[in-house]
Amino acid sequence: MAQQVQGVIAPGRNEPVRVETILVPDPGPGEAVVKIQACGVCHTDLHYKQGGINDDFPFLLGHEAAGVVESVGDGVTDVAPGDFVVLNWRAVCGQCRACLRGRPWYCFDTHNAEQKMTLLDGTELSPALGIGAFAEKTLVAAGQCTKVDPEVSPAVAGLLGCGVMAGIGAAINTGQVGRGDSVAVIGCGGVGDAAIAGARLAGAAKIIAVDIDDRKLETAKTMGATHTVNSRTGDPVEAIRALTDGNGADVVIEAVGRPETYKQAFYARDLAGTVVLVGVPTPEMQLELPLLDVFGRGGSLKSSWYGDCLPSRDFPMLIDLHQQGRLDLGAFVTETIGIGDIEQAFGRMHDGDVLRSVVVF
């Protein structure tokens, strides 16, 4: 029997979101229904609403979530009703070439629930990133659920489901930041700040935050930045070099997603350094670089996809570090809001006033 719950729908391109009654089916084989306790508001939800991702309206928004498993379908063994879980949008298949080669974070065949949630009139909903967690309950593939310590606040835990994991993972998984490294992070929104927190966790000696907004640089300091550079007031490449004895940083993390900042990241690294690209460019963006610079500078250029995370490995570890006071995930929660407040939260996010607004149920 499908259950009726309240969920937040993006009905059409650029139309305001609204709370509607939706139908959540019982879980089929390999699926789970999760009672959502908290879900963060992310730029990607806004992009769905604006039609920037695809045109499969209506969307059921929300994807940075934590909650309690209510029921599971046949064949589900990894999670059980009552488990406290963080949801992820890349449930790996375990069978593709990437998975079999031991690099499941590059899985080619991630999956979501087979069944569809619908509106009362039967219209099928497209859940954001295969999750749809601005809802009292949602239907996901069981592999999208990762059990974590139930003592942690759901508002904090849910953030690992997307942006915060992307940033921390860019530093610790993709960038492999090590003790004593110098790290520069270009762009200090939620993702860049998480990269700073990840670099601190990994033992970086110098963490240089770069942004065009002094307010963002102030917050970056609280996340672990040891130096700040406002790139409105000078060349950030020069500034990063000056702060690293002329060498450039061992790891430069780009968390904006624009050609000029990609270029800055490329030139701000040490000759043997690593550039990590976590900012997502738009399809029309191009970058031109002298090939001799690409050839002659060694090092590596890596993109980071969802922080190259493995949820079953990384979520419980990061929650444990948070619980021990070694990683302050709570610093990313600017405010908690209700399910009816998401449209206004999009406005505050767009104006750069919040790191994360989190809907609590």
Contact residue for Zn ion among 2, 19, 68, 93 (CB under 5 A): 93
The widest CA-to-CA distance across the chain, in whole angstroms, is 66
The count of other CB atoms within 10 Å of the CB of residue 263 is 15
C-alpha 24/C-alpha 3 separation (Å) is: 5
Binding flag, residue 187, ligand APR (CB under 6 A): yes
Nearer to ligand APR, 144 or 264 (CB): 264
Q: Which does 125 bind (CB under 5 to 8 A by kind): Zn ion, ligand APR, none?
A: none
Contact code string over 197-236 relative to ligand APR, x by CB under 6 A: -------------xxxx--x--------------x-----
Contact residue for ligand APR among 255, 265, 268, 333 (CB under 6 A): 255
Angle 159-249-251 from CA coordinates, rounded to 5°: 40
Q: Min. distance of Cβ 306 from Zn ion in angstroms?
A: 9
Q: For 168, left (φ over 0), alpha (ψ -120 to 50), or beta? A: alpha
Contact residue for Zn ion among 53, 68, 96, 201 (CB under 5 A): 96
Angle 16-20-25 from CA coordinates, rounded to 5°: 130
Contact region for ligand APR (CB under 6 A) — 28-36, 52-60, 195-203, 278-286? Answer: 278-286
Binding flag, residue 87, Zn ion (CB under 5 A): no
Bond prior to 58 in cis (omega within 30° of 0): yes
CB-neighbour burial class of residue 292 (10 A; exposed 0-12, middle 13-18, buried 19+): exposed
Nearer to Zn ion, 194 or 239 (CB): 194
The number of helix segments (H) and strand segments (E) in the chain equals 11, 18
Contact residue for Zn ion among 17, 87, 107, 202 (CB under 5 A): 107
The count of other CB atoms within 10 Å of the CB of residue 40 is 31
Distance from the Cα of residue 348 to its chain's centroid: 18
Contact residue for Zn ion among 17, 32, 33, 42 (CB under 5 A): 42
Q: Min. distance of Cβ 357 from ligand APR in angstroms?
A: 12
Q: Which does 93 bind (CB under 5 to 8 A by kind): ligand APR, Zn ion, none?
A: Zn ion
Q: Min. distance of Cβ 80 from Zn ion in angstroms?
A: 24
Residue 77 DSSP code = -
The two three-digit tokens of residue 247, written as one number: 């060498």
Nearer to Zn ion, 5 or 92 (CB): 92
C-alpha 268/C-alpha 280 separation (Å) is: 19
Provide CB contacts within 8 A for 235, sequence distance 6+.
Answer: none
Q: Which does 189 bind (CB under 5 to 8 A by kind): ligand APR, Zn ion, none?
A: ligand APR
Binding site for Zn ion (CB under 5 A): 42, 44, 92-93, 96, 99, 107, 109, 162-163
Given the rule CB under 6 A, which residues bind ligand APR? Answer: 43, 163, 166, 186-192, 210-213, 216, 231, 255-258, 260-261, 278-280
